[in-house]
Amino acid sequence: MDPKTSQPFPQSFSPTIPPSISAVVGVTGHRHLFKEDHETLKEKIRTFFLENFQPEERVLVLCGLAEGADQLAAETVLELKRTGRPNLTLIGVLPMPLGFYEEDFAETAQDSNAEETQNAVSADSPRRAFYRLLALADRSVELPLVAGNRERSLAQEPIDRVIQYDLLGAELADSATVILALWDGVTDGLKPGGTGDVVRRAFLKPEKTRVFQIVTPQDRKSHTRPQNALEARWLTEWPN
pTM of the model: 0.87
Q: What is the phi/psi pair of residue 141, to 5°?
A: -135, 155
* CA distance linking residue 34 with residue 68, whole number of Å: 9
Give every CB contact of residue 214 below 8 A, 6+ residues apart in sequence: 41, 44, 45, 48, 180, 181, 182, 183, 230, 231, 232
Report mean pLDDT in 10-residue bins for the chain, 240 residues.
42 59 97 96 99 96 98 98 97 94 69 40 75 96 87 77 94 95 96 96 90 98 93 94
Q: What is the pLDDT of residue 121?
A: 36
pLDDT on residue 8? 40
Q: Quick one: pLDDT at residue 240?
A: 75
pLDDT of 149: 81
- Return the pLDDT at 49: 99
226 secondary structure, DSSP code: P
- Tell me if residue 52 falls in helix, strand or coil: helix
Rounded CA-CA distance 66/103 in Å is: 11
What is residue 147's predicted lDDT score, i.e. its pLDDT? 82
**What domains can you pick out in the chain, each with its CATH number?**
20-235 (3.40.50.450)
Whether the CB-CB separation of 76 and 125 falls below 8 Å is answered with no
